[in-house]
């Protein structure tokens, strides 16, 4: 295996991780920001409100983006397993 091949595998891995985790993390960020602003405006500091809304937001994001995430993971797995023959040579 060449150094370029290993770097390409690592680059693809990091790209897929960002694409798979991105929607859930982005929804948690947006929901957390909105809830934080609302809690500041109303002066209600209850941690369970923030947690439950983030949990619901991440769940909705995972349900909505599930097919995309699954397709990305399947493509990455197929490409990685398919390149094993090139790596072993």
**pLDDT tens series, the chain, 89 aa:** 677 777 888 899 999 999 999 999 999 999 999 999 999 898 888 888 889 999 999 999 999 999 999 999 999 999 888 887 776 66
d(C-alpha 56, C-alpha 46), whole Å: 16
Do the Cβ atoms of 35 and 54 come closer than 8 Å?
A: yes
Do the Cβ atoms of 53 and 31 come closer than 8 Å?
A: yes
Which pTM was predicted?
Answer: 0.75
CA distances from 62 to 8, 41, 74, 83 (A): 28, 29, 16, 29
Radius of gyration of the CA atoms of the chain, in A: 19
């Amino acid at each position: 295996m060449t150094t370029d091949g290993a770097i390409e595998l690592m680059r693809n891995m990091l790209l897929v991780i960002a694409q798979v985790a991105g929607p859930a993390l982005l929804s948690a960020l947006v929901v957390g920001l909105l809830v934080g602003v609302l809690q500041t405006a109303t002066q209600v500091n209850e941690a369970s409100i923030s947690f439950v809304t983030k949990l619901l937001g991440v769940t909705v994001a995972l349900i909505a983006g599930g097919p995309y995430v699954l397709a990305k993971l399947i493509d990455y797995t197929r490409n990685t397993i398919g390149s094993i023959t090139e790596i072993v040579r």
